[in-house]
Every structure is written in C-alpha cells, then in structure tokens.
Chain A
Amino acid sequence: MAARHVDDNRPADDMAVRVRGVTKEFGSGGSLTRALRGVDLDVPYGEMLMLVGPSGCGKTTLVSIVAGTLEATAGNVQVLGHDLVGMSNGRKVRFRRENVGFIFQAYNLLPSLTAVENAAVPLLIAGWRRAHAVEVAADILERLGLGDRLANLPSELSGGQQQRVAIARALVHEPRLLVCDEPTSALDAANGRITMELIQQVAVQPDRAVIVVTHDSRVYSFADRIASMEDGRIESVESDPTSRQRSERCL
C-alpha cells in the first residue's frame, strides 16, 4: 500500500495539479507493462515540484499525463481546473496550447529557425502575427540574456544558450503550468544552476506551477518539494529539499 502524500482536505482550487489513483499501462496480454500504479499527487500554485527517481520508474509517463500529451489508463487528473481524463483530443490540444509550457531534455528547437523565431513558436501556434510574436519573443530572450543572439540558429548556440531559448519558448505564451524534462541533464554544473535560477525567477509565480523531472541532485535545492518515484509509484514527498540533497551527497 502506497503512503499518502496528498491532502484531500485542501480545496481543489488551491491545486494546479491534482492526480488521484492514476495508472498507466502499455501493451496488452503478455507484453503488458504497468508504468504507473495508482499515483496520487498534488502540486499547488506557486510551487516548483521535482519528480525524481531511477530510470523507468514512471516520471516521464506521469509528467506526460499531467501535461496532456498522454492518456491515463485509469484515475483522475485535474490540471488547472480541467479534468483531463476523457477530454477529447481536440480540447487537449487546445489545453496544452493555452496552458502548458514545455522544456525538453533535448531542447527540441527547430534547427532552421533562429533563436527568436524558435522562442516565438508557441505564439505562432496560437495564431499570433509573426512580427508581433517575434517582438514578444525577443523581449523574453533579452530578459534571459540572449539579446545578442536573437538571429542565431540553434547550431550556432552553446548548450546553455539553447536551453535558455527553450525556456523562453516555454514561457513566451505565459503558461500556468511549466513542465520541464531533465532541463539540466545536458548542461555543466554552472549552466545547470543558471538554468534553474532562470526557471525559478521567471516561472515560479503565485498563479503558476512548475514540475521538473530530473536526475540531477545538484539542482534539488531549487525545489519547493521533491516527489520520489519508484516502480510506478510515488514513494515519498519531501518538503525540505536541502535535507535530501545533503543525504544524497553523503551517499
């Protein structure tokens, strides 16, 4: 029986993400794989939650379901007041477009677009005029210290700079949920720290929530809480990240 890590007495309105009893199965018959086994999770507004755990424990599956890119097999998923279970694909696409920002491990920048054009993509998807979208994207890139790199292609940028472009792209349309998948795994310690500082400064707001999937113990200190996953379940949720960081360092 998994331990309870959630407080059902807190009003749902306080929660950016409320996940209850979520399971996810891939395949069928003999090849059936249970990626998630009854996960409960709350992420309040204004919080940065880190999902940690060994590879294959279900972190990415959980975050994919919360972001609306994957359908849960069973359970309830409420994100920003929307019930994602049973939501039509079209509404889910719209939900993602309007509410979710993504930062990917591999950045996934479009190689033929410049930095500012990449950052403007979510606005273009939302139907903004190109000139206006690029203008807004340029503003946010300048805030992230890439004002002199606006016209550079991703191949002309360092890993850290590419990740900052990805952050700009994730935030340019002011999403209320930011989902980050291993945002520092391809960066050195200094750039990883800078990236997390940027995410913390820019993304963590009273009306937003941030979920970070990471293996990188160096950045645990940026979390408000850390949820540890194992074998498709959340084993523990700690609200003092520094203690976990210390213990992992000792290990």
Chain B
Amino acid sequence: MFWIAWKMLIGNRAKYLGIVFGVVFAALLIAQQASIFCGLMSLTISQIYDTAGPDIWVMDENVQFVDDIKPLSDTELFRVKGVPGVDWAVRFYKGIARARLEEGTYEQMILLGLDDATLVGAPQQVFLGSIADLRRPDAVIIDDAGYKRIWPGEPYRLGRSFEMNDRRAVIVGITKASRTFQSFPIIYTRYSQAVLFAPPERKVLSFVLADAQPGLDPEEVCRRITERTGLQAVTQEQFTWKTIWYYLKKTGIPVNFGITVFLGFLVGTAIAGQTFYLFTVENIRQFGALKAMGTSNWMILLMVLSQAIQVGVVGYGVGVGLAALFGFWSRAATRLSFFMPWQVLAITGVAVFVIVLLASLLSVRKVLVVDPAIVFRGG
C-alpha cells in the first residue's frame, strides 16, 4: 500500500514538485541560516582553540568572554603557580593594537603576546618562517588572512615591517589561523614585546595559561585556583561555552537568525501544507475508492504519513544538500562564515519532520472522514 501511496504522490508531478519545493525551501533556509550562525559562533571561540597547550585559562573574575579583557597584575602569575595541582603557568597577552603601515595608513590588529621562555600558545601552522624566529628583536608572526588584508594581491614576503605604539615590528613568519569574530589581522609576538607594542597600561596581563598536573582533573584544579586566588579559572571547554553563551545572551545575533529560521519554517510549512492539502483533496475520490475496497482508516493514515515522509526525505536531502553547496561556495568565494555541524542537520531534520507532519495532519482529516460511499456518486 505504501507503494501505491508513492505512485499516487509522484503521479501528479506538478503537485509533487510543489510540496517538495516547500520542504526544500524550508530545509535550505533553516540549514543555511543555522550554519551561518554556527559559523559566527565558531569565530567567537576560534582564538581559544588556536591557543594550543593549556588546559586552564585564568582571568579576572568579571571576564565574560574571550575578547573581554580585564588586565591582571603580573604578580597573579606567581599566585597561580603556587596553587597545588598546577603543573605550569605562563603569561598571555591579548589586546587590540593600532599598526601604522609603511604606506602611512593605520590598521587595527589583534595582538597576542606569548610567554617569552616557552612560547605557549604559539601558532601551529606557520608555513613561512618559523616560530623560533619570534625570539629575534621586534619579531612578529602574522596570519595569512591578515597579510592579504593589509597587502592585498602582494606575495608573501618576510622582513616587511610596520609600527605599533611607535615601535618597529618585523614580520618573521606567516601562519594559518582561524578567523576571528573581529576579523582583524592577528599578530603573534613575545609577551615582553607585546607590552611594548600595546598602549601603555598599569596592568597588562590578560590571561594566565596553566596546566593541571598529570592525573589531576583540570576542573578540580580550576576550583583550587579560584579558591586560593579569587581569580576566575576555567577549562578550555568551559571558556568556549562561556564565550558562546555570552554572545547568545548578550547580543541580538541569535534573535536575528532565529527570526529567519522561523520564517523559513513558517513559509515551508505554508507551501508544503497547502500543496499537500490540495493534492489530497484532488485525490479524495481515489482514497474513497480505496476505502470502499477495504482499506482501513489506519492504513489510509499510514499512506498519507508515508507520502509526507517521502516528501520530507527528498526535500530534506535536497535542502541540506543545497545548503552545503552554498557553504562550500561561500567559503571558497567569500568571507562568509559557514559551519554545518551534525546538530544543524539534526535540527533541520526535526524541523522538516514537523513541517511534513503538520502538512499531512492538515489533509489527513479530510481523508479519514471521507465516506467510502463517495465513489458511488458519479463522476
């Protein structure tokens, strides 16, 4: 009987394509907007993941997200080092610096200062120059996207210089780095160099990066740090979610995307529901004939649901496929952030399921109440 339902469905090409179009539209819009939203969220946390090495981030107790810098006194480093269970701890500077380029123009840059001795948090994908060159005077490593932004169309060249806070910075390496929410060029340098590049402040220590001793739970060590120092200490995972929640709660980003997703859902439901209803009404005599011949209401219900699910599967596949194609295209051709984790696929799947369920419920009542005697009422 499901085969008959399928044949009935695809027998009317125009209606079938109309229903599928509604579902495709909804799936495409939901998956695409949700993926762009996830892409934006991934930008907010990219620097946490790019800072390789530490399990634990220590910061001022009022810091709410990774770009919310509330500088600490340098002595806090030693207090953290003194907490039992801390294997090692290093300084980390993060701030915004204004660079004066050779051409005389200015550019905002994200300035990251790594511990002079260990270079913990150094970039992992330096493809021109080397991390060790950071130990040279005035040395900085810049991310490739930043380089292209400052000097568009020009080949990579080490030794180029610019000024920050009236001090010369020389590029000794170029690295790949994840894009950031602020989308400024990223400059890596030693901590001692970074505080010279940065605008003068009494306190300059942004974070203390630390690691738990082997065998100790980092969350437990974080609790100890907070207890003993009064500072906020979180694991990398916790800092990631803290940052994401900040953007979710304190910015209008989720509302804006949510509205678009909801509209996609509504329009998809309206198109699919209306077309599915018309399709069912058009086939009402056929359903009546099937009922007269002994098809139960339960089987009719299953047939309508199977039609809806078939439409849903096709619409979902095409919709998320188009969204993924859009993602590939946009990542290659534009700077649009696009990230489609499995959760987006699952959420889109649930939304599509609800759409086809609503569409079928709208029309199934019509079929269930149809009197099988309708077939005796002439043509």
Contact for B373 among A64, A113, A117, A122, CB less than 8 A: A64
B291 contact set on A, CB distance < 8 A: 69, 93
Complex Cα gap A213–B286 (Å): 21
Bin the interface of chain A by size.
35 or more
User: With A64-B373, A106-B379 in contact, do A69 and B292 touch (Cβ < 8 Å)?
Assistant: yes
- Asked if A69 contacts B373 (CB within 8 A), the reply is yes
If A124-B1, A181-B376 touch, does A106 touch B285 (CB 8 Å cutoff)?
yes
Residues of B within 8 A of A104 (CB): 289, 375-376
Partner of A125, one of B8, B286, B294, B372: B294
The residue of chain B having its C-beta at the shortest distance from the C-beta of A70 within the complex is: B373
- Within the complex, what minimum Cβ distance (angstroms) separates B285 from chain A? 6
Q: How many angstroms between the C-alpha atoms of A38 and B293 in the bound complex?
A: 27
Asked, given contacts A64-B373, A104-B376, whether A112 binds B11 with beta carbons under 8 Å apart, the answer is: yes
**Chain B contacts of A124 at CB under 8 A?**
1, 3-4
Inter-chain CA distance A60–B379, complex, in Å, is 14
The CA-CA distance from A125 to B286 in the complex, in Å, is 14
Name the interface residues of A50-77: CB closer than 8 Å to any CB of B: 60, 63-64, 67, 69-70
The complex places the Cα of A130 from the Cα of B295 at a distance, in Å, of 16
**Which of A60, A102, A105, A108 is B286 in contact with, Cβ under 8 Å?**
A108
In the bound complex, do residue B376 and residue A60 qualify as a contact, i.e. CB atoms below 8 Å apart?
Answer: yes
Q: Is B290 an interface position by the 8 A CB rule? A: yes
Q: Which of A28-62 contact B (CB under 8 A)?
A: 60
Is B371 in contact with A186, judged by CB distance below 8 angstroms? no
Q: Is the interface of B mostly helix, strand, loop or mixed?
A: helix
Chain A residues whose CB sits within 8 angstroms of the CB of B286 once the complex forms? 108, 110-111
Residues of A within 8 A of B295 (CB): 93, 97, 125
CB distance from A21 to the nearest CB of B (A): 21
Central interface residue in A94, A106, A122, by most chain B CB within 10 Å: A106
Residues of chain A with a CB closer than 8 A to B294's CB: 93-98, 100, 122, 125-126
* Interface membership of A79, Cβ < 8 A: no
- Residues of chain A within 8 A of B378, CB atoms compared: 105-106, 182
Q: Is A121 an interface residue (CB 8 A)?
A: yes
Pair A70/B293 contact, Cβ less than 8 Å: no
Evaluate contact between B375 and A102: CB separation under 8 angstroms.
yes
Q: Is A90 an interface residue (CB 8 A)?
A: yes
Interface positions of B from 135 to 188, Cβ below 8 Å from A? none
**A113 with B7, Cβ < 8 A, contacts A63-B376, A69-B376, A105-B379 known:** yes
Q: How far is the CB of B130 from chain A (nearest CB, A)?
A: 68
Which residues of B have CB within 8 Å of A69? 291-292, 371-373, 375-376
Within 8 A of A (CB), among B358-379: 371-373, 375-379
Asked, given contacts A69-B371, A97-B294, A104-B289, whether A110 binds B4 with beta carbons under 8 Å apart, the answer is yes
> Do A97 and B285 contact each other (CB < 8 Å), given the known contacts A69-B373, A104-B376, A182-B378?
no
Q: Chain B 1-20, CB within 8 Å of chain A: the 1/0 string?
A: 10110011011100000000
Q: Kindly provide the distance from the CB of B80 to the nearest chain A CB, expressed in whole angstroms.
A: 72
Among A63, A96, A112, A125, point to the contact of B1 (Cβ < 8 A): A125
Could you say which of B7, B8, B375 contacts A108, with CB atoms under 8 Å apart? Answer: B375
Partner of B7 from the list A89, A106, A112, A126 (CB cut-off 8 Å) is A112
- B330 at interface by CB-CB < 8 Å: no
Q: Is B296 an interface residue (CB 8 A)?
A: yes
CB proximity of A182 to chain B, nearest CB, Å:
7
In the complex, 24 of the A-B residue pairs with CB atoms within 8 angstroms, ordered by the A residue number, are: A69-B291, A70-B373, A90-B296, A96-B292, A96-B294, A102-B289, A102-B292, A102-B375, A105-B378, A106-B378, A106-B379, A108-B286, A112-B10, A112-B11, A121-B290, A121-B293, A122-B294, A124-B1, A124-B3, A124-B4, A125-B294, A125-B295, A130-B3, A181-B375
Instruction: Give the B-binding residues of A (Cβ under 8 A).
Output: 60, 63-64, 67, 69-70, 89-90, 93-98, 100, 102, 104-106, 108, 110-113, 117, 121-122, 124-126, 130, 181-182, 186, 213
Sorted nearest first, the 6 A-B pairs with minimum C-beta distance are A112-B11, A97-B294, A106-B379, A108-B289, A64-B373, A69-B372
Residues in chain B within 8 A of chain A (CB atoms) = 1, 3-4, 7-8, 10-12, 285-286, 288-297, 299, 371-373, 375-379
User: 12 additional contacts, CB 8 Å, given A93-B295, A97-B295, A181-B376?
Assistant: A60-B377, A70-B371, A90-B296, A106-B375, A108-B285, A110-B7, A111-B286, A112-B12, A113-B11, A122-B293, A125-B1, A126-B294
